[in-house]
């Protein structure tokens, strides 16, 4: 089984959604983990809600620090924000490192429904990017 580590700063939104999407979309071919350079200590409630709409449950997920993964081997490390890319240590056990910047949905303003629009957009952008990667890899 291949392994991917998805990194961002807070590990509360983008990387959490990417972790679960990766495992779901790969059909069990990938084990996904996510972590942050400065973990927030929680998974954003609107990220949980956005993923629930796809029947994916993030409610038991926790934000994790990237240090707990530095000695592990990964086939792929993906940074999903510029801060994580800049502060990410070199994962010597990673075969490949990619940078896929996405807007931080936690920065969205307005009512909860207006914020959900941003969470859904970012979720769908992440899903599309992962689907494209997996399709290219199997081609």
* Active site positions, annotated: 8, 81, 88
H-run or E-run covering 95:
strand 94-99
Cβ-based neighbours of 90, under 8 Å, separated by 6 or more: none
Query: Is the CB of residue 68 less than 8 Å from the CB of residue 41?
Result: no
- What whole-number distance in Å separates Cα of residue 137 and Cα of residue 111? 39
């Amino acid at each position: 089984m291949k392994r991917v580590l998805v990194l961002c700063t807070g590990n509360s939104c983008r990387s959490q959604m990417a972790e679960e999407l990766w495992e779901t979309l790969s059909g069990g071919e990938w084990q996904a983990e996510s972590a942050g350079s400065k973990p927030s200590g929680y998974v954003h409630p609107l990220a949980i809600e956005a993923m629930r709409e796809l029947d994916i449950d993030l409610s038991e997920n926790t934000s994790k620090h990237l240090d707990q993964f530095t000695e592990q081997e990964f086939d792929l490390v993906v940074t999903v924000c510029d801060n994580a890319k800049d502060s990410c240590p070199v994962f010597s056990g990673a075969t490949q490192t990619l940078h896929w910047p996405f807007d931080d949905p936690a920065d969205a303003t307005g009512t909860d429904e207006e914020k959900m629009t941003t969470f859904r957009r970012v979720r769908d952008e992440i899903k599309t990017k992962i689907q494209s990667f997996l399709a290219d890899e199997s081609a």
